[in-house]
């Protein structure tokens, strides 16, 4: 729960650790994906990837930014009753449009199916699969709002149970069960829905624990107070919606575009290959997302206290930490890509160039630190629009230029340039409007030492590829994690390490 008191680097490190553990569900997802490819085939997995990407795209628009709005509104509420009203407003704003779109998608399933390129043996199940999977829309919207509400209360560890033990493990267990009794790719769709339902039910239990709805009933707030909070959530959400949409377009539009560009089973395979490359590259993003989960409510709290120094400290520390982890990790994944892609079967090696492009973009993003998170909660509502539109313009221009040479590389290059441009524009805006940047001392010293570690990691990762294919990954992983540890040990200043408390001593930083 959010309490009074000054925000410190220790708050960031502690919260980021819990959030990072929670986000390790993405690592489990990465491990499970090769098994999905093995069970359902590359083209079958591609069908699922396109459907889930489409759900993510639509949900991110239809929730009207309610998830981001909670990060701004809840930490600045002075009463438990007000926090509950903000949550209920976000549920109405975020879930109801997705429920309506699910009904429309159910009715229009034959029309939607006509635009998908799939293998011939998957064509018969497509309309039924779409009619089944559209119900993921309201479920996913509810989960996104609920988990955002928990993060707004700094309840980061709760996502460990939601994102790992339930959402990911139940999904795999159900998918494996359906596959083992003879289901095709529809078994993966059933498993996904089952995991979403379980996660939604568990999130209700957590919301009842951390939001006191009885206080809301006892407060006797007038109807106008509900209307005021509804407007607060709506306008805060709409202000961040362009940035959210842009980020989701970069993540989930490419598999859909790849499927549309390549006919037949090749379209499903192309979507699968891009999805694999994106998921692998997203490992670099884990630390930035974990920090974003923590930085957003903490900066909002500090902003409510008019504590500019605390915001500056959080911004600088989170950026240094992001760079120290991201650069060695990026080098290992870019150079050692074949060792990772071997897990997905021979067809996945075609995604090495995509993996390198996307991973490089994630590394450059690390330099922008948490600019977009800071901007969401302390800047004017319209400011994120410039970064979103600017990034999208660059993405389209680069994609059009590269498209004649390679469709898949054009998609990846456009996404990479767009993400980098949006991140850098946000950083420039935060500096221009708020007088904040993350590059004060000791950033220069941290960067120089991190680059030295990164070069070493790249060389060792390249040498690991000389080994036989079945042992490459076993060599690459120690290099990867060893590089991160070495970066933390030699590059971070003493005061940054102290923010980790006992963990710093356990890791011998």
What string of H, E and C letters represents the secondary structure of 33-97? HHHHHHHHHHHHHHHHHHHHHHHHHHHHHHCCCHHHHHHHHHHHCCCHHHHHHHHHHHHHHHHHH
Q: Could you tell me if 396 and 250 are in contact, meaning their C-beta atoms sit under 8 angstroms apart?
A: no
pLDDT tens for each residue of 159-211: 656 766 677 888 899 999 999 998 888 899 999 999 999 889 888 888 888 88
Q: Write down the H helix ranges in 118-185.
A: 126-133, 136-152, 158-159, 169-180
> Residue 430's pLDDT is what?
82
For residue 7, pLDDT over 90 is answered with no
* Helix (H/G/I), strand (E/B), else coil: 222: coil
Grade residue 101 by pLDDT with cuts at 50, 70 and 90. very high
What confidence tens digit (pLDDT) does each residue in 361-410 have? 988 887 776 777 777 666 666 676 788 788 889 999 998 899 888 888 89
Residue 9 has pLDDT above 70, yes or no: no
The pLDDT value given to residue 224: 46
Taking the C-alpha atoms of residue 457 and residue 333, their distance in angstroms, rounded to an integer, is 10
Q: When comparing pLDDT for 426 and 3, which is higher?
A: 426
| Residue 151, CB-side half-sphere exposure with 13 Å CA sphere | 33
Residue-wise pLDDT for 230-239, tens only, equals 888 888 778 7
The distance in angstroms from the start CA to the end CA of the chain is 30
Question: Mean of the pLDDT values across residues 108-137?
Answer: 87
* Selected residue with higher pLDDT from 30 and 36: 36
Are the C-beta atoms of 164 and 221 separated by less than 8 Å? no
3-class SS of residue 112: helix
pLDDT (average), residues 480-498: 87
Confidence of residue 448 (pLDDT cuts 50, 70, 90): very high
């Amino acid at each position: 729960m959010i309490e009074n008191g000054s925000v410190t680097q220790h708050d960031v490190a502690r919260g980021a650790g819990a959030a990072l553990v929670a986000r390790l569900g993405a690592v489990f997802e990465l491990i499970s994906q090769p098994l999905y490819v093995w069970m359902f085939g590359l083209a079958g997995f591609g069908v699922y990837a396109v459907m889930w990407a489409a759900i993510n795209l639509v949900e991110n628009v239809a929730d009207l930014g309610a998830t981001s709005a909670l990060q701004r509104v809840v930490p600045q509420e002075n009463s438990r009753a007000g926090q509950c009203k903000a949550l209920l407003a976000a549920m109405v704003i975020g879930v109801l449009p997705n429920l309506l779109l699910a009904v429309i998608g159910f009715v229009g399933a034959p029309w939607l199916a006509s635009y998908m390129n799939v293998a011939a043996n998957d064509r018969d199940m497509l309309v039924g699969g779409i009619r089944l999977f559209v119900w993921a829309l309201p479920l996913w919207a509810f989960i996104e709002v609920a988990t955002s509400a928990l993060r707004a209360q700094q309840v980061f560890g709760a996502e460990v149970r939601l994102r790992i033990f339930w959402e990911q493990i139940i999904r795999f267990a159900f998918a494996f069960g359906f596959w083992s009794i003879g289901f095709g790719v529809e078994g993966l769709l059933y498993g996904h829905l089952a995991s979403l339902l379980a996660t939604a039910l568990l999130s209700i239990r957590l919301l009842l624990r951390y939001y006191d709805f009885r206080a809301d009933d006892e407060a006797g707030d007038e109807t106008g107070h509900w209307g005021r909070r509804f407007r607060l959530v709506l306008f805060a959400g709409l202000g961040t919606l362009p940035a959210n949409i842009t980020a989701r377009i970069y993540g989930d539009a490419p598999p859909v575009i790849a499927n549309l560009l390549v006919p037949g089973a090749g379209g499903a395979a192309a979507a699968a290959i891009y999805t694999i490359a994106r998921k692998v590259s997203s490992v670099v993003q884990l630390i930035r997302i974990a920090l974003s989960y923590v930085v957003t409510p903490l900066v909002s709290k500090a902003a409510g206290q008019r504590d500019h120094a605390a915001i500056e400290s959080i911004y600088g520390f989170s950026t240094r930490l992001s760079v120290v982890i991201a650069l060695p990790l990026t080098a290992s994944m870019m150079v050692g890509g074949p060792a990772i892609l071997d897990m997905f079967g021979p067809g996945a090696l075609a995604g090495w160039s995509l993996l390198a492009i996307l991973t490089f973009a994630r590394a450059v993003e690390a330099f922008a630190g948490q600019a977009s998170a800071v901007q969401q909660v302390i800047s004017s509502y319209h400011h994120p629009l410039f970064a979103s539109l600017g990034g999208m313009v660059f993405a389209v221009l680069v994609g059009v230029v590269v498209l004649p040479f390679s469709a898949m590389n054009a998609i990846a290059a456009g996404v990479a340039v767009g993400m980098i441009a949006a991140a850098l524009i946000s950083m420039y805006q935060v500096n221009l409007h708020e007088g904040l940047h993350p590059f004060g001392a000791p950033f220069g010293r941290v960067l120089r030492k991190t680059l030295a570690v990164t070069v070493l990691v790249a060389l060792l990762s390249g040498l690991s590829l000389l080994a036989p294919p079945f042992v490459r990954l076993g060599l690459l992983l120690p290099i990867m994690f060893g590089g991160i540890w070495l970066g933390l040990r030699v590059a971070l200043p003493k005061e940054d390490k102290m923010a980790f408390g006992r963990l710093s001593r356990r890791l011998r930083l």
